[in-house]
Amino acid sequence: QVQLVESGGGLVQAGGSRRLSCVASGRTFSRYAMGWFRQAPGKEREFVAAIIQSGASTHYEDSVKGRFTISRDNAKNTVFLQMNSLKPEDTAVYYCAASNRVVELRYRFSVDYWGQGTQVTVSS
């Protein structure tokens, strides 16, 4: 069992930056593919960014490419999402996710564990 706890959400002005963190319990964090998803009001939860177990490869949803960066620190059981040049359309609850069934976590059906979510609100 893995527990994921996100932090770092809040209110930010358009064009600003925010860094989300997700700390995982357990001693096998380095075996998990990690990802970030988000859900805006009235919309389905969607993929944002993924990072493989070693951290050597990442993948991003098209609308965040060049603005968001996912990274991980396996020694600290933590995955990060650095968000720059934020836009009002980035407003959502952001969820950390983990999977030990895939190498790259890009789809909701591949997720084994979810965090509780952290709200990010971007004002115009």
Q: Which amino acid is at 116?
A: Q
pLDDT-based confidence at residue 1 (cuts at 50, 70, 90):
confident
Two tokens, residue 26: 């357990």
Statement: residue 43 has pLDDT above 90: yes
Statement: residue 26 has pLDDT above 90: no
Statement: residue 67 has pLDDT above 90: yes
Q: What is the mean pLDDT of the chain?
A: 97
pLDDT at 27: 81
Structure-model confidence comparison of residues 26 and 123, the more confident one: 123
Residue labelled with tokens 């407003």: 91
Statement: residue 25 has pLDDT above 90: yes
